[in-house]
Amino acid sequence: MKVRVRYAPSPTGYLHIGNARTALFNYLFARKYNGEFIVRIEDTDIERNVPDGEESQLKYLKWLGIDYDESVDKINPKYAPYRQLERLDIYKKYAMKLVEKGLAYKCYCTEEELAAERNGLSEEKASHIHYSRRCLNASPEELKELEKRGEYTIRFKVPEHKTYTFNDLVKGEVSFSSDDIGDWVILKRNGIPTYNFAVVIDDHLMDITHVLRGEEHITNTPKQLMIYEAFGWEPPVFGHMTLIVKEDGKKLSKRDPNYIAFISQYEEYGYLPEALFNFIALLGWSPEGEEEILSKEELIAKFDEKRLSKSPATFDRNKLNYINSCYIKKLPLDKLVELCRPHLEKHKISLNRSEEWITKLVALFHDRLSYAKEIVDLYHEFFETEFNIEGEALDFIKQDGVKETLIVFKDKVEKLEDFTEENIQEVIKATGKETKAKGKMLYMPCRIATTAQMHGPELPKMLELIGKAEVLRRLEKTLELFD
């Protein structure tokens, strides 16, 4: 039997880290077992659908490298259509089959009548109360009257005192009692199916063998099992993945500054899709061994559904940044320049700068960047500082002999015609020779006097980018400290 799995987003929102993870684990599972990975659009929640929800879902799956075998834009006629709203006839046909078999029934009750049944009960109790089965138990005369209303929903007749048990890939054996579930609507008045019904019809007709999804769906599973049973269909294997939480175990909130919800935002920040793929794969799953930087191919080879975590997955932004920085280090410089360019442009850092200057700036921070947008912060940290020497840096520079070193250094900088990294390096060396300053007593004064900082990227490279005029201005300002 060929493995077929699916990711079934509702286009009520954009692709976020939680559903991307569901898609990704399904994808790894499919590839691992040479199976097929399908994306089905569950668009029956008409009021909540957003116009570009579907487009965003597909676009960012592709961006992440989660390439699917079938979907709305990759049709296999055997299983199409892939949007639930285009399959309404199918759901209706199957709902009517259940009615014919006496396993479901038409319910003519109005919203007001249903509300009245729950009236007077607390919200908690009302949500547990089952439908009274008025339409199921109506006498023939009563039913005739009800039928005059025309409009109806179809309700599934939940079997009594039954236990639904399944072996969850992640959670092990899980059981639910049917007595906790009232007769639920499978088809609404407007002909649109409810999720728990449509999902079964589709998973069955699309030959889905395994359903890996978020644990928020675990309580839906018994309803789905009832439908499989009613049709005499074999249910797929289920696996419910744990939640993604913050480091303190609390629920993630979109307002949390250490959390990035939507995949489009990762792209905007300048995270690399390969790195994000790697990071997401480690959210609630871990390979055997210590290595965590793993390519898509390695992850497919190592994927093992038995290693899906039983405890919640922690979202760790530092880990994300570390993983991304590893991928950035391996990225060719020209690619990194392209990734950084929009950020440099947006913050006017590249304004009036040559291509060579931009490339050298990016090269300077190649090993420090966690994500492309960070180049703006790094630039501001090291280049856009108000030039003020204070604290420890000031104490350092006030040491004996420093002034003399700086005078010689400034003199040599002034004479330098070609202000390049190599020449600046030579000037520092020559300053050391002439003043006998060595090591830290040579480099630190030069650094502090030109950047006001005690640490930073390679000094000659940085000074070349700052430019001769500004470097001289700073040296003059520093020497004034000794007056």
Q: Which of residues 349-408 bind ligand GLU (CB under 6 A)?
A: none
Q: Which helix (H) or strand (E) holds 175?
A: strand 172-177
Q: Which of residues 198-217 bind ligand GLU (CB under 6 A)?
A: 199, 213, 217
Does residue number 70 form part of the binding site for ligand GLU (CB under 6 A)? no
Q: Considering 250, 254, 306, 348, which one is annotated as catalytic?
A: 254
Q: Which of residues 225-254 bind ligand GLU (CB under 6 A)?
A: none
Q: Which helix (H) or strand (E) holds 153?
A: strand 153-156
Q: How far is the CB of 220 from ligand GLU (least distance, A)?
A: 7
Q: How far is the CB of 195 from ligand GLU (least distance, A)?
A: 6
DSSP state of 131: P
Exposure string for 408-446, b = 16+ CB within 10 A, e = fewer: bbbebbeeeeebebebbbebbeebbeebebeeebbebbb
Of the candidate spans 7-15, 90-98, 380-388, 404-412, the one that interacts with ligand GLU by CB under 6 A turns out to be 7-15
79 contacts 39 by C-beta, under 8 angstroms: no
Measured at the alpha carbon of residue 428, what is the angle toward residues 423 and 434, in degrees to the nearest 5? 120
Q: Which of residues 291-330 bind ligand GLU (CB under 6 A)?
A: none
Q: How far is the CB of 40 from ligand GLU (least distance, A)?
A: 8
Phi, psi of 124 (to 5 degrees): -60, -50
- Is 254 known to be catalytic? yes
Q: How far is the CB of 241 from ligand GLU (least distance, A)?
A: 11
195 contacts 44 by C-beta, under 8 angstroms: yes
Of the candidate spans 6-14, 288-296, 435-443, 472-480, the one that interacts with ligand GLU by CB under 6 A turns out to be 6-14
Nearer to ligand GLU, 199 or 227 (CB): 199
Looking at 268-370, which runs of residues are DSSP E strands? 313-314
d(CA 99, CA 93): 10
Of the candidate spans 5-13, 162-170, 173-181, 310-318, the one that interacts with ligand GLU by CB under 6 A turns out to be 5-13
Number of residues that bind ligand GLU (CB under 6 A): 7
Nearer to ligand GLU, 25 or 105 (CB): 25
Nearer to ligand GLU, 26 or 278 (CB): 26
Q: How far is the CB of 90 from ligand GLU (least distance, A)?
A: 17
Number of Cβ within a 10 Å radius of residue 240: 21
Nearer to ligand GLU, 262 or 322 (CB): 262
SS3 state at 237? strand
Nearer to ligand GLU, 236 or 270 (CB): 236
Q: Secondary structure of the chain: what % helix, strand, coil (to 5)? A: 50, 10, 35
Cα 255 to Cα 21, 251, 315, 318, 384: the distances in Å are 20, 11, 14, 17, 29
Phi/psi class of residue 456: alpha, beta or left (left: φ > 0; alpha: ψ in -120 to 50)?
left
Q: How far is the CB of 167 from ligand GLU (least distance, A)?
A: 17
Nearer to ligand GLU, 132 or 220 (CB): 220
Q: How far is the CB of 224 from ligand GLU (least distance, A)?
A: 8
**Intra-chain end-to-end CA distance of the chain, in Å:** 86
Q: Which of residues 10-69 bind ligand GLU (CB under 6 A)?
A: 10, 42
Nearer to ligand GLU, 53 or 270 (CB): 53
Of the candidate spans 8-16, 62-70, 245-253, 396-404, the one that interacts with ligand GLU by CB under 6 A turns out to be 8-16
d(CA 327, CA 371): 10
Interacting residue ranges for ligand GLU, rule: CB under 6 A: 8-10, 42, 199, 213, 217
Which amino acids are annotated catalytic? Answer: 254
